[in-house]
Amino acid sequence: MNAEDMILISVDDHVIEPPDMFVNHLPEKYRAEAPRLVHREDGTDVWQFRDTVIPNAALNAVAGRPKEEYGLEPQGLDEIRPGCYDVHERVKDMNAGGILGSMNFPSFPGFSARLFATEDSDFSLALVRAYNDWHIDEWCAAHPGRFIPMALPAIWDADLCAAEVRRVADKGCHSLTFTENPAVLGYPSFHHEYWNPLWKALVDTDTVMSVHIGSSGRLSIPAIDSPPDVMITLQPMNIVSAAADLLWSRVLKDFPAMKIALSEGGTGWIPYFLERVDRTYEMHATWTLQDFGGKLPSEIFREHFLTCFISDPLGVKLRHEIGIDNIAWECDYPHSDSMWPDAPEQLWKDMVAANVPDDEINKMTHENAMRWYSFDPFSHIPKEQATVGALRASSADHDVSTQSRSHRIIEPSEKLAAFHSRAQAAVAAAAK
């Protein structure tokens, strides 16, 4: 095998939602109240829902742009690649990047759709259903075999959330994006029986709970005057807390077929984590009353958790300490951590450095993703047309060159000042 022979399925990419997404799916009585994309005088586009304004932050859509344009400032749709919000252009970008399949997390509603949780449950549910129907019936269905469908949760009501899981499963969707810490959002924690209807629905429909970093809306920032590098470095740490919370909870004991994906959390930390949980069990189970039925916590982890990496040479080297059946690859298009369109070359470099055999490459690049998410692209696309080389050959004339797209180049000092201003505002809001 060489780089061009790999078949790549990314279990973590993102969509910048198009302005017309609610047109075909929201009941007419709610359309006047629906979130809408507003073009502002400064050239930026923002989603507005009632009094809440959500900008398209630059770091969320920098694919194909120079690093000088990275930042957190708002931007307009005309400043980002059309593949961020146009599904047909997205598939062209996927082909040019050698990527067969992609699972796309939401952007403006938040990873757990907390934006849609209003005082009117019927309206909130209509918004969630409209989003899910747009995502499944328009975005994913536009190119069969290219997208793993993902649903938003009705986060404010466990029973409604369970019903929505069952509804979308009937449409072929077996991934639910969910928060890494519901208690932070004001809901019962993972340890509460409140969520039992949801856990049962996930198990009954063989649906993965996909937990993305930052999905609680809270990131680890040691001090409000820390540089943004600290926040970016610590982003995966929230997923470590979620993994521990879920591993030690009663959820996995009461629902032994539960499947959880730790999205964009990396893998290099997992061998130490597994050593630590086994040591904790050995030293403390007699008084914490933990009982895994004769198994170690590390064994339970490998039965329930899918881990994901973008570029993680250490994780690839330690793949057997993690569990070769528990690792999947992600591209993170169009976010700033993504290596698109050169991801295959970077990934292949890691595989060669770690002397990974072909069968294990296949597991990490696509087979594990297919198995965990009940996804079969080969029912639509022959395998020989699904490789990195074949996809790129089909899109040889597609422009993937790095291009400046910003209306204006913002000086780093201005970007840093804006970052600290937002950090201070977030700390102040959290203190209220």
The pair of three-digit structure tokens given for residue 401, joined into one six-digit string:
């060159």
**Contact call for residues 316 and 356 (beta carbons, < 8 A):** yes
Which stretches in the chain have pLDDT values below 50?
A: 427, 430-431
Residue 310 lies in a domain: yes
Is the alpha carbon torsion for 87, 92, 94, 100 positive or negative? positive
| Number of domains making up the chain | 1
Per-residue pLDDT tens over the stretch 337-348: 899 999 999 999
Predicted confidence at residue 431, as pLDDT, reads 47
Residue 368 lies in a domain: yes
Q: How many residues does the chain have?
A: 432
According to DSSP, the residues that pair with 423 across neighbouring strands are: none
**Contact call for residues 156 and 187 (beta carbons, < 8 A):** yes
Predicted confidence at residue 99, as pLDDT, reads 98
Residue the block writes with tokens 């997390």: 105
Predicted confidence at residue 409, as pLDDT, reads 66
Residue 63 lies in a domain: no
Is the alpha carbon torsion for 347, 401, 389, 60 positive or negative? positive
Residue 333 lies in a domain: yes
The DSSP string of 118-179 is -S-HHHHHHHHHHHHHIIIIIIITTSTTSEE--B---TT-HHHHHHHHHHHHTTT--EEEE-
Residue 250 lies in a domain: yes
Distance CA 133, CA 120 (A): 20
Residue 129 lies in a domain: yes
Strand intervals (E) in 311-364: 327-329
Residue 93 lies in a domain: no
Rg (CA), the chain: 21
**Residue 282 belongs to domain spanning:** 3-39+100-398
Distance CA 86, CA 83 (A): 5
Predicted confidence at residue 90, as pLDDT, reads 98
Read off the CATH number of the domain in which 109 is found: 3.20.20.140
Q: Which of 326, 338, 318 is nearest to 300 (CA)?
A: 326
Residue 431 lies in a domain: no
Predicted confidence at residue 71, as pLDDT, reads 67
The single-letter code of the amino acid at 41 is: E
Predicted confidence at residue 425, as pLDDT, reads 57
